[in-house]
Amino acid sequence: MDSSQAGAVVDDPLRRRHRPLDEADVNVAGHHLDGQQQQQPQHVFLQTPHLPPAAAGMPRRDRATNFHRAAKPRAAFAYAAIGICYLLMGIFVHQRTNSYPEPKNSDNSLPSEFREKNARRYLEQITSFGPRVSGSEAHVKAEQYILEVIQEINANKLSHNEVEVSIQTVSGGLTVDFVSAGMGEFSSVYQNLKNVIVKVAPPQGANSSLLVNCHYDTVIDSPGAGDDAASCAVMLEMLRVLTHSSVYIMHNIIFLFNGAEENMLQTSMASLQSIPGLPVSERLSI
């Protein structure tokens, strides 16, 4: 092999790599690209099944435009459905909020019916004294007010049921077991605490009693509307209804207004030991 042949062999790859493209090379590359373009649209059509068959022959930009146009009505329908749901929810809430029965008072109810206006008045008056810590001035005022309402109800009663009002003064002590909670035992001693007790009894008497309980004392930093003046207000109105009703009750109904429940249930525990009308077998032994 001479030097010209060796140079031709060595230089041939370089000439093929750097030589200008001729028409044959362009045709080969064009056929290769045509093959890729023919496969790519077929792949796109498989990924967009929502396009109609007529769109297969459209340019890609036209197909995308038609797809977005077809999606707009579906989006509008979804937004309209969501808006209708919110509208219906608003109508429902509005109807429920404004469909409560009209509160009863002396103008639209019988004397033997529960009157919300009376209970509201009792609640506002009790809470107007402020926090009613047992033994405080506000606590004493609340006790006097409850007694006044009870005496007024008893004086105006229309039913045949008997009403007995008493003030229970208790002294003693109790021990609460917190051992299971890891806190040991808690002892509490009290003296001259008071409960207001009202017993409503049928004329023929009864051997069993139903106890209804609330407390009008509070913690040091609360007017105690929910804990527990609201219950006291409801019990006062229930007492008024019972004393104005012609219905014969079959059992004694005892209304217990606790004076010191927040102090570790002091008067609550004491009242169950000695409450009038409550059978000894049903009393709590401490």
Instruction: Parse the chain into domains and list their residue ranges.
Output: 14-100, 116-282
CB atoms within 10 A of CB 19: 9
52 half-sphere exposure, CB direction, 13 A CA radius: 11
Instruction: Give the model's pLDDT for residue 102.
Output: 81
Instruction: Give the model's pLDDT for residue 8.
Output: 46
Instruction: Give the model's pLDDT for residue 255.
Output: 94
Q: Which of 148, 261, 262, 282 is flagged as catalytic?
A: 261
222 half-sphere exposure, CB direction, 13 A CA radius: 11
Is 261 known to be catalytic? yes
Instruction: Give the model's pLDDT for residue 43.
Output: 46
Token readout for 180 is: 């299971």
Q: Which fold has domain 116-282?
A: Aminopeptidase (3.40.630)
Report helix angle 116-127 to 137-155, nearest 10: 150
Instruction: Give the model's pLDDT for residue 168.
Output: 87
Instruction: Give the model's pLDDT for residue 271.
Output: 75
Token readout for 115 is: 């009157």
Instruction: Give the model's pLDDT for residue 277.
Output: 54
Instruction: Give the model's pLDDT for residue 98.
Output: 80
- Tell me whether residue 176 is exposed, middle or buried, using C-beta atoms within 10 angstroms of its C-beta: 0 to 12, 13 to 18, 19 or more: middle
Q: Dump strand ranges (E) for the chain.
A: 162-178, 184-201, 209-215, 252-258
- 10-residue mean pLDDT profile of the chain (286 residues): values are 47 52 56 52 47 53 57 77 92 84 82 91 96 93 96 88 88 77 77 90 88 93 92 96 88 92 81 60 35
pTM, two decimals, is: 0.63
Instruction: Give the model's pLDDT for residue 46.
Output: 44
Instruction: Give the model's pLDDT for residue 67.
Output: 55
